[in-house]
Chains A and B, each alone.
Chain A
Amino acid sequence: MTLFPGTKDAVTTTDGDTPDLAPLPVEGPVANPGAGGYRRRNYGVYLALFLFVVLAVCACIPSLLAPFDPTHQSLNDTLLSPGSRGTVTGLHLLGTDELGRDVFSRLIYGVRPLALVVLGSLALSGAFGLAYGMIAAFAPAWVGRVMMRIADIQLAIPSFVLAILLAYLIQPGVKSSVLAIAVVTWPVYARVVQADAGKLKRADYVLAARVSGLSWRQVIWHHITKNVASVFVVILTFYISVAVIIESSLSFLGYGIRPPRPDWGNMLAGGVTYINYWWLAVFPGVAVTLVILASNTLGEFARQKLDPRSSIDLGASSIHLYRRRPNRPPGASAGPSPVKAADGTTAAVLENVSISTDTGRPIVADVSVELRSGVVTAIVGESGSGKSTICLALLGLLPANLKLTEGRITVAGHRIDGAQSSELRRVRGRHLGVVFQDPLASLDPVRRIASQLGEPRVIHKLDSRKKARAWSLEKVQDLGFHDPKAVLAMHPHQLSGGMRQRVCIGIAVAAEPVVLVADEPTTALDVSVRGKVLRSLESYRVRTSAAMLLVTHEIAIVRAIADRVIVLYGGSVLEEGARASVLAAPRSPYTRALMDASVEFDPTLRGASLPTIAETVADDAAPDAAAAGCPFAPRCPRALPICTRRFPERAAVPGNDGAVWCWNPLEYGDE
């Protein structure tokens, strides 16, 4: 069969420099949603900055922009509408007020008190809050607690109420406003600083710095100050708008800047008195709103730049795969489909399935899998090989950025590809049960086990809600819990990892599906509970002779329960066949390498160096998306020139009902 003879030893050559079997980027939520275009250029920030520059000019040299003296009264020209011309004065762009003063000029002169109050109060409260928060974070614990409690007490007083109180006690004006805003906002800064510094104090890298001999003073300076500073700047930027609101509110109520000195708040108060002359209330309001909008925009920008931890990256898909083979005419080189038409024993079928991202990069290429009743089919491969994507495709739950481009998927006689969502819902849970990798993340954190376990039976109308509860009790017993009633009353976080995963299995089989998909069911679990979880899966299959698809990267698990094995690499099937023969005599060099690299407990390994998959090209020899050949070729020790050019044809492996896709497969002499 093979074109070129070779030895299996060639694959396992150990190279001290090469990393082990996980050198490739890992799929998962950490990955950046490669497909660009989610993040738009933020022109709002430029507009906001421009507005602040204009405001700065207005505050510094108002006479430059204002056409009139803001306090000059002209009783012949009272309440002129915007754009009218006064009898003596000239054009009033935004009209005049009840005393004939120019609204536009008053708006411009109103910037200075606003700016003074906002900057003054931010500086005062920011400095005090920062110092207070830092002291609270690094003082003895009880001192810190008392300090924060004091800050909390003050936060309980609504800020306007406190500000009015202060302005009432002191003569209203710039000073009272600065003081009032500073007094009502400092606890917020103190809280934020204390929380952040406290968190950093316990962060691993700060502890590491401590262990390496730096004094607290050095640690605070080098590690904590910088981090706290960014959070502090973010919150300070956001509080520009809060300060603006309080300042104008105080003036509006008569407790801030008082007439005749122009201020947006007191102009608005006058506008309310003369509500029929709309321009008096509209323009100052628009001005305040614009400033608030601009400071919020700036705050949002500062947060994205300086404190990315707190911003939610919208649109990021939780599943990301990174490397694909280019478009290969489907079926052309992969040969005829190995899957027969669905007969009585076929529970689910994927035929020549190709999946790619919305940007056109293939993730799964021409994969065919047949799941038969009572048979455990294992898909093995490393992270990013497309295993989980295949599971999601079976469910019809591909993330929004992935598309099924070719092939058919059928589950229990229902077409999945192209199906209406209502039809998909009838299949999911009822004909196809699935167990995901992380049981803690999978279970709804706020619902009790009782309502989650039997839910598929309620959804698919197998049971009433009451009957489903009775069923759940029985099921929990089946799953081997000692105190079924207590378990049903619990929330997921109260269970251990293994218990959660058994609950998930109970959910997957609740509506007695004919296909059970388990996507790395034991990866997130302690080694000690894996057996129990696998046995729960097995027992369902044995009882109902359902078809099972087991996705894993652990050869040990495959050896334990699989009947058939499919080896996936870079989105393509490289080998398939009966478990015994594939594991005993792998034909694909990749299968061989995968098996050698997975460390199983074996006393003879003591003292031996552990094999890895050789990197023959480069450290990050991920399958090249532009290459047309076998995805494993760049790392394959048996690669031939043709391997990088064309994907190999399917080659049947005699006597094992299997096949290999390789130009230069391993051969075993005894066949």
Chain B
Amino acid sequence: MTVAIGAEAAGSRGGRFETIRQTGWWSVAVAVLRRVPWVVVTVWGVSTIVFFLARIAGNPVSLLVPPEATPEQVKVTTHNLGLDASTWEQYRRFLAHAVRGDFGDSFTYQQSALGLVWDRVGATFELALSAILISILLAVPLGLVAAFRPRSIAARVGSAFATLCQSIPVFWLAPMLVLLFAVKVHIFPSSGKAGLSSWVLPAVSLALFQTGLYFRVVRATGIDFLMHDASRLVRSKGASHTRLALQHLMPNICAPLLTVIGLDLARLLGGSVIVETVFAWPGIGQLLIQAAQSHDYPVIQALVVVFAAGVVIVNMGVEAIREAIDPRSRSQA
């Protein structure tokens, strides 16, 4: 009796397998709920960092009153801001207000800081989203070509383009686009948010860096997939390149791409500060610069918290979606 045949009687493991997890939208909901405490902790942590940074850096009153203020004025302001209380008492009050969404009133706009931020969030969100969409539309086809034909001219051009994308700083790219397409040739408006054409330059400026990043991710995961057995089996079924790319490669690329999009979000929002400043885009990035210039402390505090909460919440969504797409990440969780 031979080893191979003899052993089969010894028993197979055919009937036993890992527990099947529920999949679909329900699992996404569960994944989201599981992360809610983490979001709360992060937003609390960020508020705390912001609060104590201000205290470490010095008495905010000196920033808030005009330089020529009398000691009387300083004292009044200090009392009005509650800064004559102990640090812990101030922190307690800050948290108690922050929980209710109250970061104080803006000094320059005479309205609630959070409300002011809230009015501007939409514009930034739209800009960031359109930049991400532009990047995906550029990077995925280019990356797929580079993965399928790694030594073709298209792949080399793509790689060079990606390197360039990641090397041009947005604070230079944005003025250059203005110079070329708004000053030299009047195709697009140089600033403001009015009509579709005003979107082009800000969105493209913001999109370029992560286009290079996404391209690299798509190319690397694509090559990885195509070099391994899974793609060989698909091809041995008689599948066309189109089918291989769309039905098998794309689902495998989605998870890592989503992860990178999520991880890159904080950088993207940072870039939007510059883009909004250059193009006078009425979002929270521009508001941040204005608030910093006018020492509008409540607005800055509210902004930082909103920025951080946005990053954490989007990341939570990305992770949840990734779990729904890539079953492997679920079993590791």
Chain A residues within CB distance 8 Å of chain B: 29, 149-150, 152-162, 164-166, 168-170, 241, 245, 248-249, 252-255, 265, 268, 271-272, 275-276, 278, 281-282, 284-285, 288-289, 292-293, 296, 312, 314-318, 395, 397, 425-430, 432-434, 436-438, 441-447, 455-456, 459-460, 480-482, 486, 489-491, 493-496, 498-499, 504, 507-508, 510-511, 522, 526-532, 534-535, 554, 556-557, 559-560, 600-601
Interchain CB contact under 8 A, B7 and A530: yes
Contact between A441 and B292 (Cβ–Cβ < 8 Å)? no
| CB-nearest residue of chain A to B3 | A556
CB distance from B249 to the nearest CB of A (A): 9
Could you tell me if B14 and A556 are in contact, using CB atoms closer than 8 angstroms?
no
> Which residues of the other chain, A, contact B1 by a CB distance below 8 angstroms?
601
Contact with A along B276-299 (1 / 0, CB 8 A): 011000000000110011010000
Contacts of A443 in B (CB 8 A): 230, 233
Q: A170-B57, A480-B14 are in contact. Are A428 and B175 (CB under 8 A)?
A: no
The bracket for how many chain B residues form the interface is 35 or more
- B6 contacts partner chain A, Cβ-Cβ < 8 Å: yes
Quick check: B266 and A446 within 8 Å, CB to CB? no
List chain A residues, Cβ under 8 A from B237.
428-429, 455-456, 459, 507, 510-511
* Nearest B residue (CB) for A426: B238
Instruction: Please tell me which stretch of B75-83, B98-106, B165-173 contacts chain A, meaning at least 4 of its Cβ atoms lie within 8 angstroms of it.
Output: B165-173
User: With A532-B8, A532-B12 given, is the CB distance from A275 to B179 under 8 Å?
Assistant: yes
Contacts of B303 in A (CB 8 A): 161
**How many angstroms between the C-alpha atoms of A276 and B58 in the bound complex?**
42
Among A158, A459, A510, A600, find the residue whose CB has the most chain B CB atoms closer than 10 A: A158
- Closest residue of A by beta carbon distance from B303: A161
B308 at interface (Cβ–Cβ under 8 A)?
yes
Identity of the chain B residue whose Cβ is nearest the Cβ of A241 in the assembled complex: B167
Q: Write out the residue numbers on chain A whose beta carbons fall within 8 Å of the beta carbon of B18.
A: 494
CB within 8 Å of A: which B165-202 residues: 166-172, 175-176, 178-179, 183
Are B46 and A441 touching (Cβ within 8 A)? no
Q: Which of A278, A314, A395 contacts B179 (CB 8 A)?
A: A278
Q: What residue of chain A has the Cβ atom nearest to residue B291's Cβ?
A: A168
| CB-based contact A161/B169 at 8 Å | no
A120 CB to nearest chain B CB (Å): 19
Q: Which residue from A317, A429, A482, A527 sits with its C-beta under 8 Å from B14?
A: A482
Q: List 28 A-B contacts (CB under 8 A).
A: A154-B49, A156-B308, A157-B266, A158-B270, A159-B266, A165-B50, A166-B57, A168-B292, A169-B54, A241-B167, A245-B169, A276-B183, A312-B220, A315-B150, A318-B229, A395-B236, A434-B236, A438-B229, A441-B229, A446-B325, A456-B237, A459-B240, A496-B17, A499-B17, A531-B4, A554-B3, A601-B2, A601-B3
Residues in A whose Cβ lies below 8 Å from that of B183: 275-276
Which of chain B's residues 1-51 have a Cβ closer than 8 Å to chain A?
1-18, 20, 23, 41-42, 45-46, 49-50
- On chain A, the residues within 8 Å of B49 by CB distance are 153-154, 157
Q: Is the CB of B7 within 8 A of A531?
A: yes
CB < 8 Å neighbour of B248 from A318, A441, A444: A444
Q: Give bound CA distance, A31 to B35, whole Å.
A: 43
What CA separation (Å) do A260 and B169 show in the bound complex? 23
Q: What's the least CB distance linking A103 to chain B, in Å? A: 15
Interface of A is mostly: helix
Contact present for A429 and B238 (CB under 8 Å): yes
Contacts of A154 in B (CB 8 A): 45-46, 49
Cα–Cα, bound, A486→B12 (Å): 18
Please tell me if the beta carbons of A153 and B46 are within 8 angstroms of each other in the complex: yes
Are B178's CB and A446's CB within 8 A?
no
Could you give, for residues 223-265 of chain B, a 1 whenever the CB lies within 8 Å of some chain A CB and a 0 otherwise? Answer: 1100111101111111110010001100110010000000000
User: Which residue on chain A has the smallest CB distance to residue B269?
Assistant: A158
B121 in contact (CB, < 8 A)? no
Residues of B within 8 A of A507 (CB): 233, 237
Q: Is the CB of A156 within 8 A of B230?
A: no
Q: Are A157 and B308 interface neighbours, CB within 8 A?
A: yes
For A316, what are the chain B residues with a Cβ–Cβ distance below 8 Å?
Answer: 227
- The answer on a CB contact under 8 Å between A529 and B12 is yes
Chain B contact residues: helix, strand, loop or mixed = helix
B267 at the interface (CB under 8 A from A): yes
| Interface membership of B53, Cβ < 8 A | yes
Determine if B150 and A442 form an interchain contact, defined as CB atoms under 8 angstroms apart.
no
**Does the CB pair B274–A252 fall under 8 Å?**
yes
Contact partners of B57 in chain A: CB under 8 A: 166, 169-170
Most buried by B among A255, A268, A312, A432: A312
Is B218 on the interface with A (CB-CB < 8 A)?
A: no
In the complex formed, the residue of B with least CB distance to A457 is B237
From known contacts A275-B183, A490-B20, A491-B328, infer whether A496 and B236 are also in contact, taking CB-CB under 8 Å.
no
Interchain CA distance A162-B6 in the complex, whole Å = 68
Report how far A164 CA is from B284 CA in the complex, Å. 14
In the complex, are the beta carbons of A161 and B239 less than 8 A apart?
Answer: no
Given contacts A169-B54, A445-B252, contact A285 B172 (CB under 8 A): yes
Q: Please tell me if the beta carbons of A459 and B243 are within 8 angstroms of each other in the complex.
A: yes
Residue B131, interface by CB 8 Å: no
Instruction: Please state if A560 and B304 are interface contacts (CB–CB under 8 Å).
Output: no
Q: Does B114 contact A (CB under 8 A)?
A: no
B-side contacts of A161, CB under 8 Å: 269-270, 273, 288, 303-304, 307
B300 at the interface (CB under 8 A from A): yes
Residues from chain B with Cβ under 8 Å of A456 in the complex: 237-238
Interface residue B311 (Cβ < 8 Å from any Cβ of A): yes
Q: Are B53 and A166 in contact (CB under 8 A)?
A: yes
The answer, yes or no, to whether B122 is at the interface (CB within 8 Å) is no
Q: Report how far A63 CA is from B331 CA in the complex, Å.
A: 62
- Other than A169-B63, A249-B170, A275-B179, give 12 A-B pairs with Cβ distance below 8 A: A153-B45, A159-B266, A252-B274, A254-B293, A296-B167, A434-B236, A446-B255, A446-B327, A493-B331, A522-B4, A556-B4, A556-B5
Which of A157, A254, A436 is B229 in contact with, Cβ under 8 Å?
A: A436
Given contacts A428-B238, A494-B18, A534-B5, A315 and B175 within 8 Å (CB-CB) = no
> From A598, which residue of chain B is reached at the shortest CB distance?
B3
* Cβ contacts under 8 Å, A601 to chain B: 1-3, 6
Among B170, B237, B252, chain A packs the most CB atoms within 10 A around the CB of B237
Report B-chain residues with C-beta under 8 Å of the C-beta of A157.
Answer: 46, 49, 266, 304, 307-308, 311
Q: Name the distance in Å between A455's Cβ and chain B's nearest Cβ.
A: 6
Q: Please state if A292 and B328 are interface contacts (CB–CB under 8 Å).
A: no
Within the complex, the shortest CB–CB distance from B148 to chain A, in Å, comes to 11
Contact A155 B232 (CB under 8 A): no
Contacts of B227 in A (CB 8 A): 29, 316-318
Give CA–CA (A441, B227) in the complex, Å.
Answer: 11
CB-CB < 8 A to B243: which residues of A?
A: 459
Judge whether B311 and A158 touch: CB under 8 Å. yes
Check B163 for interface membership: any CB of A closer than 8 A: yes
Whole-angstrom distance between the alpha carbons of A27 and B163 in the complex? 35
Q: How far is the CB of A522 from chain B (nearest CB, A)?
A: 7
Are the C-beta atoms of A528 and B54 separated by less than 8 Å? Answer: no
Name the residue in B164, B168, B243, B270 with the highest tally of chain A Cβ atoms < 10 Å from its Cβ. B270
**Residue B139 at the chain A interface, CB threshold 8 Å:** no
Closest beta carbon of chain A to B329's beta carbon, Å: 10
Q: In the complex the two chains form, what is the Cα distance from A523 to B123 in whole Å?
A: 58
Once bound together, how far apart are the Cα atoms of A482 and B14, in whole Å? Answer: 8
Known: A156-B266, A436-B233, A528-B12. A534 touches B4 (CB 8 A): yes
- The minimal Cβ–Cβ distance linking A553 to chain B, given in whole angstroms, is 12
**CA separation between A124 and B41, bound complex, in Å?**
27
- Nearest CB on B from A16, distance (A): 26
B-chain residues with CB within 8 Å of residue A296 when the two chains form the complex: 163, 166-167
Q: Using known A-B contacts A159-B270, A245-B169, determine if residue A530 contacts B4 with beta carbons closer than 8 Å.
A: yes
Residues on B with beta carbons closer than 8 Å to the beta carbon of A282: 176
Check A289–B167 contact: CB distance below 8 A.
Answer: yes
Is the beta-carbon distance between A528 and B8 smaller than 8 angstroms?
A: yes
A251 to chain B, nearest CB (A): 9
Residue of B nearest to A431 (CB): B238
Beta-carbon contact of B17 and A494 below 8 Å: yes
**B3 close to A150 (CB less than 8 A):** no
